[in-house]
Amino acid sequence: MKQMILAAALAAALPLSAQKKADITLLPEQAKVEIPKEIYGQFAEHLGTCIYGGLWVGEQSSIPNTNGSRNDVLQALKELKVPVLRWPGGCFADEYHWMDGIGPKENRPRMVNNNWGGTVEDNSFGTHEFLNLCEMLGCEPYVSMNVGSGTVQETAQWVEYITAEDGPMAKLRKANGREKPWRVKYIGVGNESWGCGGSMRPEYYADLYRRYQTYCRNYNGNRLFKIASGSGEYDTHWTETMMKQAGGQMDGLSLHYYTVAGWSGSKGSATQFDEADYYWAMGKCLDIENCIKTHVAIMDKYDARKRVALMVDEWGTWWDEEPGTVRGHLYQQNTMRDAFVAALSLNVFHKYTDRVKMANIAQVANVLQSMILTKEDKMVLTPSYYVFQMYAVHQGATYLPLELTCDSRTVRARMGRDGDTRTLPLVSASASRSKDGKVHISLANVDLETSETLTVDLGSLKLKEVSGTMLTSSKIEDKNTFEQPDAVKPVPFKGAKISKGKLTVKLPAKSIVVLELV
Ligand code: AHR
């Protein structure tokens, strides 16, 4: 798949007063691949208040809920068209024993969430609650199995419990109130098995993966899509070993990539940052493209037909926890900077959907780069939520390759430290054509000061009208809070026009725009 970015490399920042120009050429005749809706996937881990308080308040709560899941969050997620939800972790998955989370709630044992702050959980949110939530959302469940501290039998029985019509596990499920099996497609066999999921070497995990997946059966026409634990960022040895030793036994291999300053020490504040920190984040987030290409090249060696999918099942920003919040709960605020990370990353994922078939932002509520923040009965939608909402038009549409020429600037490659630099293109773009023939172009002008005049050559596409939506804000640190929930919100965009087969767009500084062309 071809999308060329011809970024004119400028050694230094351009004069701030200049108005810049960028060109895009759409290449509709090269359109071949559908953008899987699962690129817009979400992740919900038992971590902090993602599940308890975020998604789930319990049937007895005074917060309005449907069978325990809070109504405001349900509604917001329905509007986002969430295609797939990954659960129960993350690191939590490899310490989770699913049988503790079924049956009458008063009989469920309590557990210590050792990975995330040592919080004691009551297991009131388990298999039934999760799968019922997915049914209410109309999304695919993605269940991560416990390989790190579980057993093959436990994993095999979980699949049977969820998907079999008859037999001992189905009988137990029925006794717990669910007659019909659920349909579950995606299962993860371990998570970060090189780290919190068991500190394994890939040579060992590859064999373990082969063993565990053998006993994950397809019951009654339910066809599992089996995903092996993959690399964190650039661990090419992991990918190489997994593809060589277990490529034939998997449907997908995961990849985790966070926009994070480093794993020790401060990761930087989510809300207080300077211009250099902001541009660092844009560069780090865009480096996911190189990371994907690196793993795709290895996968291509072993699987030229691209049968095995690359699943970016954790990505997003990772900042310091908000002051005053529980340590280990990874609660962070979300600003326009995070919205840009979302927009740029999604534009990258679209380009590789011949291999990348799923991506799950971490996480859906109250953890890392959340869509939603909750505090008791209040809920706030973050700037990242609005990017997912605006971009939902790309779900299931045909990817339209494009060529982009734009200015760039030199940015720090390391947060807070001079030294290595990267070249950052200042415009990011992606396009797709939906089944009804509408074309959508998502654009981001990363520049904090200067607007961009974009000319888009529509090629053979006969399009006459354009409308759009924009997310922007007066300051890049702007965010939505419980006191001011609507500080950052999409607005109609009027800066685009079509004339003689060319689209012209005036993209304001620090703006994210999605255009619809008919
Ligand atoms: O998303 C938070 C954590 O990040 C996940 O539990 C783990 O898989 C990753 O390290």
Q: Whose CA is nearest to atom 8 of ligand 1?
A: 90
Of 38, 45, 192, 452, the active-site residue reads 192
Confidence grade of residue 18 (pLDDT, cut at 50, 70, 90): low
Atom index in ligand 1 nearest the CA of residue 43 equals: 1
Both structure tokens of 38:
């699962």
- In Å, how far from its chain's centre is CA 511? 21
Report how far ligand 1's centroid is from the alpha carbon of 204 (Å): 21
- pLDDT tens digits, 164-188: 999 999 999 999 999 999 999 999 9
pLDDT at 9: 36
Per-residue pLDDT for 333 more than 70?
yes
pLDDT at 1 > cutoff 80: no
Nearest alpha carbon, ligand 1 atom 1 = 362
Q: How far is the CA of 460 from the centre of ligand 1 (A)?
A: 44
> What separation in Å is there between the alpha carbon of 368 and the centre of ligand 1?
10
pLDDT of 13 strictly over 90 = no
Mean pLDDT within 269-292: 97
For residue 4, give the 3-state DSSP assignment. strand
Summarised one tens digit per residue, pLDDT across range 80-132 is: 999 999 999 999 999 999 999 999 999 999 999 999 999 999 999 999 999 99
User: Which residue's C-alpha comes closest to atom 6 of ligand 1?
Assistant: 90
The whole-number average pLDDT for the span 412-420 is: 85
Phi, psi of 367 (to 5 degrees): -135, 130
Q: Which of 42, 45, 194 to mutate to test the pocket of ligand 1 (most atoms within 8 A of CB)?
A: 45
Q: Which residue has its alpha carbon closest to ligand 1 atom 7?
A: 90
pLDDT at 416: 77
Span 344-349, average pLDDT: 98
CA-closest residue to ligand 1 atom 2? 90
Phi, psi for 371 (deg, rounded to 5): -75, -35
For 297, counting Cβ atoms within 10 Å of its Cβ (0-12 exposed, 13-18 middle, 19+ buried), the class is exposed
User: Does pLDDT of 415 surpass 90?
Assistant: no
Active site residue 314: yes
User: 456-509: per-residue pLDDT in tens?
Assistant: 999 899 999 999 999 999 999 999 999 999 999 999 999 999 998 899 999 999
Whose CA is closest to 402, among 256, 258, 515, 234? 515
Tell me the percentage of the chain whose pLDDT exceeds 70. 96
Q: Is residue 5 predicted with pLDDT exceeding 60?
A: no
Backbone angles phi, psi at 166, to 5 degrees: -135, 170
Helix/strand/coil (H, E, C) string of 41-90? EEECCCCCCCCECCCECCCCCCCCEECCEEHHHHHHHHHCCCCEEEECCC
Query: 104: CA distance to ligand 1 center in Å?
Result: 30
Question: Do strands 4-8 and 402-414 pair parallel, antiparallel, or not at all (unpaired)?
Answer: parallel
Residue 90 alpha carbon to ligand 1 centre in Å = 5
Confidence of residue 418 (pLDDT cuts 50, 70, 90): confident
Q: What is the pLDDT of residues 485-497, one digit of tens each?
A: 999 999 999 999 9
Is 129 annotated in the active site? no
CA 260 to centroid of ligand 1, rounded, Å: 12
Whether residue 4 has pLDDT greater than 80: no
Summary mean pLDDT of the chain:
95
pTM across the whole model: 0.95
Q: How far lies 167's CA from each of 151, 157, 219, 300, in Å?
A: 20, 11, 11, 41
CA-closest residue to ligand 1 atom 4: 90
Ligand 1 closest atom vs CA 192: 8
User: Which residues form the pocket of ligand 1, taking CB atoms under 6 Å from any ligand atom?
Assistant: 45, 89-91, 191-192, 314, 362-363, 368
Assess whether pLDDT exceeds 60 at residue 8. Answer: no
Per-residue pLDDT tens digits for 31-77? 999 999 999 999 999 999 999 999 999 999 999 999 999 999 999 99
Q: What is the pLDDT of residue 161?
A: 98
Q: Which distant-in-sequence residues (6+ apart) come within 8 Å of 403 by Cβ? A: 3, 4, 5, 6, 23, 24, 25, 27
Ligand 1 site-directed mutation target among 86, 196, 311, most atoms within 8 Å of CB:
196
